Amino acid sequence: MANANGWGDGASNNNIGWGKGADNAIGWGAVYSVSSAGATDIIGTPAVDPDAQAFITAAAITDPTQQSAINTLVVDLKGYSIWTKFKAIYPIVGGTASSHAVNLKTPGTHNLTFATGWTHSSTGMTPNGATYADTALNPSSALTLNSTHLSFYSRTNVSAVQREIAIYQAGDNPTMALGTSVGAEVSDHYNYNQRVSGSIASSTGFYLATRTTSTSHKLYKNNSTLGTNTSANINILPNGNLFIGASNNTTLGVISSYSTKQCAFASIGDGLTDTEAANFYTAVQAFQTTLGRSIGTQTVSDADAQAFVTAANITDQVEANAVNNLVIGMKADGIWAKMKAIYPIVGGVASSHAVNLKTPGTFNLTFATGWTHSSTGMTPTNSYADTALIPNSILSLNSTHISGYLRTNLQFAGPIISSENNASYDNGLYIWPWQSTNLYSVRINDNGSTGWGPAPADIRGLHIATRTAVGVKKYRLNTTQIFNSTEASTGLNTSSIYLAKSRNNANYNGNQIAFSSIGDGLDDTEAANFYTLVNTYQTALSRNV
């Protein structure tokens, strides 16, 4: 029984109305009750849709985030006036075969039947390349000849030609199929010769194939049109059940073109216009984002974080959220304004790793040959990256910091980050965690050697070198202050800052780098807060050390 107070039937499991929170405040609250089916009903929210509730109950969805995502999806589809166009919607939520099987549009009708070989998880359902799911939906009896669509949300990049949702009859004619392969994307509706195709670099994302008239057949990926075919349709609808994860060839009685892509959404229904297709993508992408499994450039709350996410083409929501939280945290701690360049090194590829979070497009990294890029960071082999940031043009003599986050503990006689005017390292700006055997060296706009000493046994983590006054120079590794020097500043360097190599000689550092920054000096509190933020960021990406 829900603990509800106010408008509504307080004893009902399906009570929708004013909820009473634990603090006895009256208003719309997050109040839940358990239905007879074992699913938690959404109680006390202002717009609980009955169709969403029917699915939540049928699929036994107990997680509040998943419940909210379903409710919002249904409300959005109805708001866009496309809900009535669907015959089957498979939101693939709940993490189990029984929940993934349920048709959101009409639970119990056209539910999926899985052949052996599927893996089910919170991010979707994945076929093993030799299995399928039967929708029990026959196009010839359920759909309209010149008004149909198929959709599929792929979370896997596979280069092979595969069919994600398909039925073939009499070979290739008539046909309904949506298939993807890197380099070419193909959607076959009714006739192989009337297919629509378009080039793709990755098979991840949301695909929609739709026919709205006899001569209008289109294919979309995410919010872009991949192809159009205006040939007049002269065929009939295939007679047999549509399969997800393979092609059902009813004439030959065989199943072929198996998929290995993780499916996070699929639908079947009437044709969608350009506007309806765009709105459909918006609704589905918002749904996936709420569940933390969306593919495609992400949307985040902070404008500066969003600028980076867009510029770096961050398509993973966990990565986008980590960047967003990092920016919000730095602003809250008064650190953001002190930054000139921040390299969060996220996205897994050189083009993403190159982008400066603070001002994308300015001081982006230029990589020399020899870097390996992955989701955990970037690793140089006798190479470097040029920041194009020259200290004497943008930094302050007595307020400067540099940082670098290392994920490996290898003894390379080279700096993490470095700029020197000459071979004598005049006005040096660098962090050398292993300058020579068991020694380190740090300079912040100075010519001195103070700060040489036994190198830390483990150099993994965040290195911060900072100067906040003419005679205040400090070096931290994670939470440990390595030294506090009164060495005076002498000048700002005129050479651009490099990552992983000395600016003026062939001393390289080959450790994996997962973060770096350049900017104004950080005091003790700011440096401690900065470490906490960066460590939280790395933890969110599952790569902290």
Cα 35 to Cα 12, 62, 66, 76: the distances in Å are 9, 10, 16, 25
Asked if residue 297 is part of any domain, the answer here is: no
In a domain, 298, yes or no: no
Total count of residues recorded for the chain: 545
Residue 433 and residue 409: Cα distance in Å, rounded?
Answer: 10
Alpha carbon distance 104, 101 (integer Å): 9
Residue 315 lies in a domain: yes
Last residue of a domain, one of 262, 290, 318: 290
Tell me the pTM. 0.64
| DSSP conformation class of 22 | T
What total of structural domains would you count in the chain? 3
CATH assignment at residue 505: 2.60.120.200
Give yes or no: residues 225 and 361 share one domain: no
Residue 296 falls inside a structural domain: no
Shared domain for 327 and 392, answered yes or no, is yes
In a domain, 127, yes or no: yes
Residue 401, CA distances (Å) to 304, 396, 469 in order: 21, 10, 11
Residues 426-455: tens digit of each pLDDT: 889 999 998 766 688 899 999 876 557 788
421 & 281 share domain:
no
Query: Does residue 497 share a domain with residue 361?
Result: yes
444, two tokens: 């912040």
Residues 30 and 58 in one domain: no
pLDDT band at 223 (very low <50, low <70, confident <90, very high): confident
- Average pLDDT value for residue range 230-240: 87
Identify whether 545 is part of a domain.
no
Does one domain contain both 78 and 130? yes
Note whether 251 and 316 are same-domain residues: no
78 within some domain: yes
pLDDT attached to residue 224: 87
Q: Are 246 and 198 within one domain?
A: yes
32 and 75 in a single domain? The answer is no
- pLDDT, average across residues 158-172: 83
Q: Domain span at residue 260? A: 50-290
Query: By three-state DSSP, how is residue 528 classified?
Result: helix
- Residue 322: enclosing H or E segment and its boundaries? helix 317-332
Domain boundary pick from 32, 48, 64: 48
pLDDT higher than 60, residue 20: no
Structure tokens at 335: 């650190």
What digits encode the pLDDT tens for the residues 242-297?
999 999 988 778 999 999 999 999 999 999 999 999 999 989 998 998 998 988 77
Within this chain, do residues 226 and 180 fall inside the same structural domain, yes or no?
yes
What are the tokens at 259?
Answer: 């998929």
Per-residue pLDDT band for 424 (boundaries 50, 70, 90) equals low
pLDDT at 437 (0 to 100): 61
Per-residue confidence (pLDDT) for residue 196, from 0 to 100:
83
| Domain boundary pick from 251, 267, 290 | 290
Query: pLDDT digit string (tens) for 296-311?
Result: 777 888 999 999 998 9
Residues 83 and 61 grouped into a single domain: yes
Instruction: State whether 37 and 55 are in the same domain.
Output: no
Q: Is residue 470 part of a domain?
A: yes
* pLDDT score at 191: 60
Rounded Cα distance between 347 and 314, Å, is 6
